[in-house]
Amino acid sequence: MELILAAAIGVLAASGVYLILRPRTFQVIIGLSLISYAVNLFILAMGRLRMDAAPILDGANANPADYVDPVPQALVLTAIVIGFAMTALFLVVLLAARGLTGNDHVDGKLD
């Protein structure tokens, strides 16, 4: 299971990095999204993988060892929302730049 997740993170990161090195703005946006998946999974993995643990507490006297680590989850939840905002902002900047420069190259001019 760890191997699968590690491979997944690697593939996502590699695809993302390749894309952000491309010259077209749309490619960069897709690349950033892929990288943020990789990073979110990586952060979640920092809490170690638990498949059988409950995320929701059962009353007041619960044993912490029976539950999944909530800290990475809270961090990732924040990261997902911010990632959404970032994508939206980049998309609009992309569109504005496209309108102003007439092309979709990241430097605003064709080489």
Partner 1 sequence: MPFLACVLAYALQGRLTGGAAFVAGGVAGLLFLVTVLLFPQVSQGGALIYRIEWIPQLGLNLTLRMDGLAWLFCVLITLIGLLVVLYARYYMSPKDPVARFYALLLAFMGAMLGLVLSGNIIQLAVFWELTSLVSFLLIGYWYHRGDARDGARMALIVTGMGGLALFVAMLLIGHIVGSYELDVVLASGRTLVESPLYPVTLILFLLAAFTKSAQFPFQFWLPNAMTAPTPVSAYLHSATMVKAGVFLLTRFWPVMSDSELWFAIVTYTGLATLIFGAAAALFQRDLKGLLAYSTISHLGLITTLLGMGTPLAAVAAIFHIANHAVFKASLFMAVGIIDHETGTRDVRKLSGLWRFMPFTATFAIIASGAMAGVPLLNGFLSKEMFFTETAEFHPDVFVNYSLPIGATIAGMLSVAYSIKFVHGVFFGPPPTELDRVPHEPPALMRRPMELLVVVCLAVGIIPGITIGPFLAAAVTSVLGAETPYYSLSVWHGFNLPLLMSLLAMVGGAVIYVPYYRRFRDVDGLPFLNRFRGQRIFERLLLNATNKWARSFMQLFGTQRLQPQIFIVVLLALAAGVAAGWARMGNLPLPESFDPVLGLVWLMGGISAIAAAQQAKFHRLAAMILMGGAGLATCITFAWLSAPDLALTQLLAEIATTVLILLGLRWLPKRLPVPDDLTLRMRLRRGRDVGLAVLVGLGAALASYAIMTRSAPLGISEFFLANAYKQGGGTNVVNVMLVDFRGFDTMGEITVLGVVALTVFGLLRRFRPAVDNAERPEQQRLLDGSAEGQRVADDFLRIPALIMTWLFPVVIAIAIYMLLRGHDLPGGGFIAGIIMSLAFILQYMANGTRWVEERLRVLPVLWIGWGLLLAMLTGLGAMALGAPFLTSAFAYAEIPLIGKIPMATALLFDLGVFALVVGATVLMLIALAHQSIRRPKPAGSAKPREREGLAKWN
Site for partner 1 in 7-26 (CB under 8 A): 7-24, 26
What CA–CA distance (Å, rounded) separates 63 from 50?
Answer: 15
What CA–CA distance (Å, rounded) separates 29 from 92?
Answer: 11
What HEC string does 13-42 produce? Answer: HHHHHHHHCCCEHHHHHHHHHHHHHHHHHH
Cβ 83 to partner 1, closest distance in Å? 7
Backbone angles phi, psi at 67, to 5 degrees: -115, 160
Please give the residues from 87 up to 106 whose contact with partner 1 meets the rule CB under 8 A: 87-89, 91-96, 98-100, 102-104, 106
7: left (phi over 0), alpha (psi -120 to 50) or beta: alpha
Cβ 58 to partner 1, closest distance in Å? 7
Please give the residues from 23 up to 82 whose contact with partner 1 meets the rule CB under 8 A: 23-24, 26-27, 29-31, 33-34, 37-38, 40-42, 44-60, 62, 64, 67-71, 73-74, 76-78, 80-82
Please give the size of the binding site for partner 1, defined by CB under 8 A: 89
The reply on whether position 107 binds partner 1 by CB under 8 A is yes
Cβ 110 to partner 1, closest distance in Å? 11
Q: What angle do CA 29, 80, 26 make, to 5 degrees?
A: 5
The reply on whether position 110 binds partner 1 by CB under 8 A is no
